[in-house]
Each structure stands twice: as structure tokens, then as C-alpha cells.
Amino acid sequence: MKKIILLCTMAALALSACQQGPVRYTQDSPEIDTVKKLMSNYNSKTFDTSMYTDTSKTFYNTSKNPMSASEAMDYHKQTDINYASRGFKNENQEYEMVLTDDGETWVNCWLEWNGTLAANNKEIDIPIHLTYQFVDGKIVREYGYWDASEIVMELQKIEVEAKMAEEEMEPMD
């Protein structure tokens, strides 16, 4: 009888050890597919907010003053005037989905962005980190981090050069 109880106990332990909980980390999920579609939309200038909830909050290089999904799309449209072309490169893209200890679903991605300024055809490459929180398959929070200093300095330089050229063209009294 002791042997039967011992065998049943060992079998129960073996079965419980084989059962796995939810996937905590993956590089293949519907949420990752949503983020990849969002990147594709960005590259094609398709400003679609259907993958966001109505109350989503987007933070780019800040933790304050969030934008709604439509405000984030407007932000992209406004910055597009500076570029002859822009988009995420197809190589060196990394995506991961993580289920946190608190049960939150996040997708992180590391991408390379490339843009060519319209005013002087200068090409700029920037590494970007984006992270998205999902609830029920929709984005509720988005954070984006990148160093835009090269773009800002180049746009300031273009502005100064344009102003100097304008002043040179003004007739002297």
C-alpha cells in the first residue's frame, strides 16, 4: 500500500511539474503582429488609429503630456513636412512580447529609423525604442524613445542659412 501511495504521489508531482503557466516572453504573438502593422502603416503614411483604444495615451521622449492616438498621428503628419523620405529600416528589427508579473502585456521593439531632410537631402539614421501596452488586443499606452538632436540641429542650421540668404538679398539703404 505504501508503494502505491508513493507511486501516486510521484506521478502527481511529475504531472504538476510538466504543466506550464502562461507564456511570459515570446517573439511571435498577435500583439507583435499589430505593432509590425503599425510600423508598416508609418512607413506607408497610413495614419490608422484602429489598433488603439479610444483612451490610449502616447508618450514620445517624455513622461508628461500624453497624446491621444489621433494626436500622435497628427504629430507624424506635421513632422513629415521636414522629410523627402522617412521610415523604419527593414533590417535589425527586434520585437518581443512580455507578460509582466502584474499580468500586463507589453510589446517592445528596437528599430532603426532613416530620414532624408527635404531642405538639404541630408540622410539621418536614428535607433528607436518603442514599447506598447496592450489590453484585449488593443494599444492602451505607447512610449517612444530616441535622440532627435541631430535632426533638431540640422533643421536649425537650415533655418539660419535661409535667414542669412534672405538678409543678403535685401537691398541696402
We report the CATH number of the domain holding residue 60 as: 3.10.450.50
Q: Is residue 12 part of a domain?
A: no
Q: Which domain holds residue 99?
A: 21-164
Q: Is residue 2 part of a domain?
A: no
Residue 3's pLDDT is 65
Q: Is residue 15 part of a domain?
A: no
Give the mean model confidence (pLDDT) for residues 100-119.
96
CB atoms within 10 A of CB 79: 13
Residues 88, 98: Cα–Cα separation, whole Å: 22
Question: Which pTM value belongs to this model?
Answer: 0.81
Q: Is the separation of the CB atoms in 115 and 123 below 8 Å?
A: yes
Q: Is residue 63 part of a domain?
A: yes
Q: Is residue 67 part of a domain?
A: yes
Residues 115, 15: Cα–Cα separation, whole Å: 54
Strands (DSSP E) contained in 10-149 are 25-26, 52-60, 83-88, 94-99, 105-117, 123-135, 138-145
Q: Is residue 11 part of a domain?
A: no
Would you mind telling me the total number of residues written for the chain in this entry?
173
Q: For the chain, how many structural domains are there in total? A: 1
Residue 84's pLDDT is 96
Residues 85, 70: Cα–Cα separation, whole Å: 22
Q: Is residue 170 part of a domain?
A: no
Q: Is residue 93 part of a domain?
A: yes
Q: Is the pLDDT of residue 75 over 60?
A: yes
Residue at 167: amino acid letter? E
